[in-house]
Amino acid sequence: MKPPAILLTVALLSPLGVTPALADCQIGDAKLEEAILQKPELRGVANRQTVRDLRNLRDAAITLWSYGRHDDCERLLGNIRELLAGPPMNSLGGNDEEDAEMQISAREPKVQRGAAQGRRADKDAKPLVHVDELTPSLRADQIIGAEVRSADDKIVGEVRNIVFGTKDRRDYAIVASGGFFTPGTDSIVVPIRSLKVSQERDSYFLPMPKAEVRTVPHMPDQDYKWLSDEAWRTRNDALFAGRP
């Protein structure tokens, strides 16, 4: 059994941390997104896959709830709470990356946009690098799940998906978050070439301040039909073009 499957099985079967089941299983009480926001170690590169796994466990709880399995839903939430309160997350073991990429995407995070100021103003801050100037080149696991900041160094979301190999060689990062975006449709489509990245490859930067990010149109559909809409892509890409 692959590690992510093991984690899910343990969470479902473990009797630890079980509380009396509520009638409707209060999934928000696990406060997963709040923990991710408040614990610096959970936003680090080393724990990126673990955070994905925790979100998948939270989604499994939602599935159990939807089938009326409220006891199992609450049991799973108890295990999520234990994992969050336990030892450092990067000591919990590894994951099979190929399996992890095939898991269903977790629900969009509820990042409090602008809540965390970055380090670009520090005297010893290293210069940012354009994504297309990276050596060695960018790997998918270095961008999916990574935080995205505005040019004025405010958190605006995270990369939830990437689109490579379009016929016109215009690749995209799908950047999503909570805050001022509408839940469920809170994604913007960012040309990957317009991104800059910290030299540690843990933060990606849009070429515009937070106030302008608010004006970027949302991804028009969740089925990626917009990839065939040349007019929409041209208008969207122009918002990011020609910026330092």
The pLDDT profile of the chain, 244 residues, written as one tens digit per residue, is: 444 443 444 444 444 343 443 447 888 777 887 887 777 777 777 777 788 888 888 888 888 888 888 888 888 888 888 888 876 555 544 445 444 444 433 344 444 434 456 778 888 888 998 888 888 887 888 888 888 999 999 888 888 889 987 777 889 999 986 543 333 457 899 999 999 998 888 889 999 998 999 899 999 988 889 999 999 999 999 999 988 8
Nearest-angstrom CA–CA distance, 197 and 148: 9
Q: 138 and 227: one domain?
A: yes
Asked if residue 244 belongs to a domain, the reply is no
Q: 232 and 135: one domain?
A: yes
Show the domain range for 41.
3-98
Asked if residue 90 belongs to a domain, the reply is yes
Asked if residue 39 belongs to a domain, the reply is yes
Asked if residue 121 belongs to a domain, the reply is no
| Strand ranges, E, within the chain | 129-130, 147-149, 155-163, 172-176, 187-191, 196-197, 203-205
Asked if residue 142 belongs to a domain, the reply is yes
Structural domains in the chain (count): 2
- pTM of the shown model: 0.55
Asked if residue 143 belongs to a domain, the reply is yes
Residue ending a domain, choose from 98, 120, 153: 98
Asked if residue 110 belongs to a domain, the reply is no
Query: What's the CATH number where 152 sits?
Result: 2.30.30.240
Asked if residue 159 belongs to a domain, the reply is yes
Nearest-angstrom CA–CA distance, 130 and 146: 16
Q: 84 and 146: one domain?
A: no
Nearest-angstrom CA–CA distance, 236 and 216: 8
Whether the CA torsion 7, 9, 10, 11 is positive or negative: it is positive
Looking at the DSSP assignment, which residues form a beta bridge with residue 188?
175
